[in-house]
């Protein structure tokens, strides 16, 4: 009996009998078209796209990309690098450890979508294609050619399942439609795994620093977009660019490196976040930054309840409100019935303790429920809190919260002589009011991250995961399910109250309308839960990134008016369809959603 061996293929090698792509082009011609189109697209950004400066970004200059041209240039350079890597150019193989064809498709799609969006926006805003300069026509043709070349690259067509002859006509139709869907997915998932060279620890740390710096640049650019067209182009480029990097295998490789140096990554992330106010010339975007941190901190607290313990809480924003109201009532507000002015540390303790007490009081009688019943009870608690705060106005009830007017004129914090409401000069930079609160909220976020890490890795954290996975089995193993769930509820509530104490001082006023179940602007319970699921349940970075996206995007999409929530909901549906485990998935949840793809790999590694 003879054994057949297959020689390993070089990065640039391709099977001659590989099935063609979506377009009938030879493989060599397709790769040349993708590469040439990407290079021409990058060159077109140095030409004028329109003759008038009426279009935002002033795309009338030669030799100097501006506005949306910068985004197209970034996408074109990324596509060019992936195209060269697919040719097997020495030194570029490490950029595509999972194969370069799928990454090239998404990179050219990002460039094509941003380019054509810009050309159409110019034509619509200025009144026709006559307003385009030669650079505008060139970028449209070049980006289309690059995308067409990428679509013509070969891909592995999935083998259809055998059809049961006893199936009905409808079942046969569904079978055929499912096969066509798998074929379409294969267009964007082609590529063979390639080995990644091992790096030293110092090189990996430098790579982590570079990733964090890149993240800071992308976030600063996104939050500082000055007009609507630029932000939409940023979303297109960032979304498809992230997909390209993910298909190339770089995201998974970077995640592995970060997990090997978790402490350095977390500390570096906080240092990068602390540098954000120094990148701003005024306090405008630091305002959004501090609200993102408040929202992210509350989402991380909810991640303990939902992500670790598996308890569906639909009224979690009420705990944020309890902490905010408790801190506002003891911080010297003239609207407070209590004539006291506690220092900040005491107000923080009051807010966290009040939320903790409410968490225990609500959780004790309700946590024996499971699933949908628990969700309905927590939803009711959130509404009860808002209605009660609205009625404690001295007319419908005791005069405690000042009703719908809320607790107003909350004074700025003064900690050890440092006035958070005043501007301060630090190293030649002027730090405004919201930047001061940004640094304070960053410290509180660090505390919450520490609590999450320590509790998640502790004995109680393992009990939470056991309850989440199978409560019946956990009870059979001797875990006190009620006590474990009550601790999760209390810890999550206290962390939300901690963030609420800062929110009260940042907003100056605490009103019941700030704590709805759902609304156009977060924080509310629906957005908090979406941030946890979108970012990745059970992880630290997932809810932080999810909360940042869910707060930033609605703020930037306000120009859509009544269509804002529609567009936002559609984007969430698409993301959950194609990445249900979240942006930064927990390994266990990733296996649950992609068991058929991950299990063979794990078995292979185990056998090796």
Q: 498 and 412: one domain?
A: yes
pLDDT value of residue 229: 86
Q: What is the pLDDT of residue 466?
A: 87
Euclidean distance between the first and the last CA atom of the chain, given in angstroms as a whole number: 24
Question: Using the 8-state DSSP alphabet, how is residue 410 labeled?
Answer: P
User: For residue 174, is it within any domain?
Assistant: no
Say if 454 falls within a structural domain: yes
Residues 259 and 238: their CA atoms lie apart, in Å, by 24
Residue 473 sits in the same domain as residue 430:
yes
Residue 244 token pair: 């390209």
Do 356 and 405 fall within a single domain? yes
Classify residue 330 by burial, with Cβ atoms within 10 Å: 0-12, 13-18, 19+.
Answer: buried
- Joined together, the tokens standing for residue 232 give 């939409």
Tokens of 106: 């998404």
Residue 57 backbone dihedrals phi, psi, to 5 degrees: 100, -15
Place of tokens 């429920």: 369
593 shares a domain with 460: no
229 shares its domain with 375? no
Same domain, yes or no, for 209 and 89?
A: yes
3-state secondary structure of 501: helix
CA distance linking residue 422 with residue 437, whole number of Å:
11
- The token pair that represents 231 in the structure block: 């932000």
The CA distance from 314 to 515, in Å, is 12
Tens digit of each residue's pLDDT (9 = 90 or more) over 168-197: 544 444 444 444 444 444 444 444 444 455
- Give pLDDT < 50 ranges for the chain: 1-19, 157-161, 163-164, 166-167, 169-195, 596-608
> In the 8-state DSSP scheme, what is residue 132?
B
CA distance 398 to 406: 14
Hey, which bits of 386-446 come out as E strands? 414-415, 418-419, 424-426, 429-431
Q: What are the backbone dihedrals phi and psi of residue 583, each rounded to the nearest 5 degrees, phi first?
A: -70, -40
Tokens in use for 604? Answer: 């292979």
Is there a single domain that holds both residue 445 and residue 343? yes
The alpha carbons of the chain give a radius of gyration, in whole angstroms, of 27
Report d(CA 100, CA 17) in Å as an integer.
19
> Token digits for 591?
């296996």
d(CA 450, CA 427): 29
**Residue showing tokens 């927590």:** 378
Long-range contacts, 277-282 (Cβ 8 Å, 24+): 277/429, 277/431, 277/435, 277/438, 277/439, 278/429, 279/216, 279/220, 280/224, 280/435, 282/432
Distance (Å) of CA 99 to CA 8, 193, 222, 244: 14, 6, 29, 11
Residue 311: name the closest of 490, 172, 175 by CA. 490
Asked, for residue 181, whether it belongs to a domain, the answer is no
In the three-class reduction of DSSP (H, G, I as helix; E, B as strand; rest coil), residue 407 is classed as strand
Nearest to 139 by CA among 50, 64, 227: 50
Contact 192, 88 (CB under 8 A): no
Query: Can you tell me the distance from the alpha carbon of 240 to that of 407, in angstroms, rounded to the nearest whole number?
Result: 45
C-beta separation of 136 from 130 below 8 A: no
Backbone angles phi, psi at 495, to 5 degrees: -65, -35
The answer to whether residue 265 is domain-embedded is: no
Domain boundary among 232, 254, 276: 254
What is the predicted pLDDT for the residue at 381? 85
Q: Single out the residue of 230, 223, 228, 233 nearest to residue 281, CA to CA.
A: 223
Same domain, 304 and 192: no
Given 224, 254, 284, which residue is the final one in a domain?
254
Within this chain, do residues 483 and 429 fall inside the same structural domain, yes or no?
yes
Closest CA to 435 of 548, 295, 286: 286
Note whether residue 341 is domain-resident.
yes
Range of the domain at 568: 561-602
Task: Taking the CA atoms of 524, 527, 529 and 531 in sequence, report the sign of the dihedral they define.
Answer: negative
Residue 416 lies in a domain: yes
**How far is it, in rounded angstroms, from Cα 572 to Cα 567?**
9
Number of domains in the chain: 3
CB count in 10 Å sphere of residue 2: 4
pLDDT at 100: 66
Q: Count CB-CB contacts under 10 A for residue 124.
A: 9
Residue 197 tokens, joined: 């060279």
Domain membership flag for residue 449: yes
CA 590, CA 131: separation in Å to the nearest integer? Answer: 48
CB 118 within 8 A of CB 137: no
Element (H, E) at 597: helix 595-607
Find out whether 569 and 558 touch, Cβ atoms under 8 Å: no
Residue 275 lies in a domain: no
Domain match, 534 and 569 both: no
CB of 559 closer than 8 Å to CB of 329: no
Residues 575 and 529 in one domain: no
Question: Mind spelling out the 3-state secondary structure of 80-100?
Answer: HHHHHHHCCCCCCHHHCCCCC
Kindly state whether residues 571 and 539 are assigned to the same domain. no
**Tokens 């056991």 belong to which residue?**
466
- Could you say which of 508, 523, 549 is where a domain stops? 549
Instruction: Report how far residue 343's alpha carbon sits from residue 341's, in angstroms, rounded to the nearest whole number.
Output: 7
d(CA 247, CA 269): 24
Per-residue model confidence (pLDDT) at position 138: 93
Q: Where are the beta strands (DSSP E) in 373-518?
A: 414-415, 418-419, 424-426, 429-431
């Amino acid at each position: 009996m003879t054994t057949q061996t297959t020689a390993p293929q070089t990065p640039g090698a391709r099977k001659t009998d590989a099935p063609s792509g979506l377009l009938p082009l030879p493989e060599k011609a397709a790769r040349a078209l993708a590469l040439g189109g990407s290079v021409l697209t990058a060159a077109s950004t140095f030409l004028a796209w329109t003759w008038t400066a009426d279009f935002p970004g002033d795309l009338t200059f030669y030799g100097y990309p501006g506005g949306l041209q910068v985004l197209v240039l970034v996408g074109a350079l990324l596509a060019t690098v992936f195209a060269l890597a697919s040719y097997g150019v020495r030194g570029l193989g490490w950029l595509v450890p999972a194969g370069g064809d799928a990454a090239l498709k998404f990179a050219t799609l990002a460039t094509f979508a941003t380019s054509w969006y810009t050309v159409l926006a110019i034509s619509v805003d200025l009144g026709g294609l006559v307003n385009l300069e030669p650079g505008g026509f060139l970028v449209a043709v070049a980006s289309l050619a690059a995308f067409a070349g990428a679509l013509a690259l070969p891909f592995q067509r999935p083998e259809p399942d055998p059809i049961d002859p006893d199936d009905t006509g409808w079942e046969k139709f569904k079978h055929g439609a499912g096969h066509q869907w798998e074929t379409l997915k294969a267009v964007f998932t082609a590529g063979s795994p390639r080995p990644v060279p091992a790096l030293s620890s110092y090189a990996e740390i430098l790579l982590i620093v570079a990733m964090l710096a890149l993240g800071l640049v992308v976030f600063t650019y996104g939050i500082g977009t000055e007009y609507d067209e630029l932000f939409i182009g940023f979303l297109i480029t960032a979304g498809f660019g992230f997909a390209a990097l993910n298909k190339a295998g770089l995201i998974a490789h970077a995640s592995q490196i970060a997990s090997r140096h978790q402490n350095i990554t977390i500390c570096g992330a906080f240092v990068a976040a602390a540098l954000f106010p120094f990148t701003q010339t005024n306090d405008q975007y630091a305002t959004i930054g501090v609200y993102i941190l408040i929202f992210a901190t509350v989402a991380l607290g909810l991640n303990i309840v939902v992500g670790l313990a598996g308890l569906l809480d639909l009224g979690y924003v009420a705990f944020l409100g309890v902490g905010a109201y408790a801190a506002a009532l003891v911080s010297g507000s003239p609207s407070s019935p209590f004539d006291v002015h506690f220092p900040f540390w005491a107000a923080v303790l009051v807010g966290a303790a009040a939320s903790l007490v409410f968490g225990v009081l609500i959780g004790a009688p309700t946590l024996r429920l499971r699933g949908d019943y628990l969700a309905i009870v927590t939803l009711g608690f959130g509404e009860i809190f808002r209605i009660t705060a609205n009625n404690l106005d001295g007319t419908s009830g005791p005069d405690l919260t000042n009703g719908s007017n809320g607790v107003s004129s909350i004074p700025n914090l003064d900690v050890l002589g440092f006035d958070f409401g005043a501007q301060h000069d630090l190293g030649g930079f002027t730090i405004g009011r919201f930047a001061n609160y940004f640094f304070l909220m960053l410290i509180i976020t660090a505390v919450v991250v520490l609590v999450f890490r320590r509790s998640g890795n502790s004995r109680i954290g393992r009990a939470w995961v056991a309850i989440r996975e199978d409560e019946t089995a956990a009870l059979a193993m001797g875990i006190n399910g009620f006590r474990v769930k009550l601790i999760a509820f209390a810890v999550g509530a206290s962390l939300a109250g901690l963030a609420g104490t800062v929110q009260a001082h940042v907003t100056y006023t605490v009103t019941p309308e700030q704590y709805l179940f759902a609304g156009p602007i977060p924080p509310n319970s629906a957005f908090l839960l979406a941030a946890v699921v979108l970012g990745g349940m059970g992880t630290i970075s997932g809810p932080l990134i999810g909360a940042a996206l869910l707060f930033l995007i609605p703020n930037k999409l306000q120009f859509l008016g009544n269509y804002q929530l529609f567009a936002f909901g559609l984007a969430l549906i698409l993301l959950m369809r194609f990445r249900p485990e979240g942006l930064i998935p927990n390994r266990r949840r990733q296996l649950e959603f992609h068991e058929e793809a991950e299990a063979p790999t794990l078995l292979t590694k185990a056998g090796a």
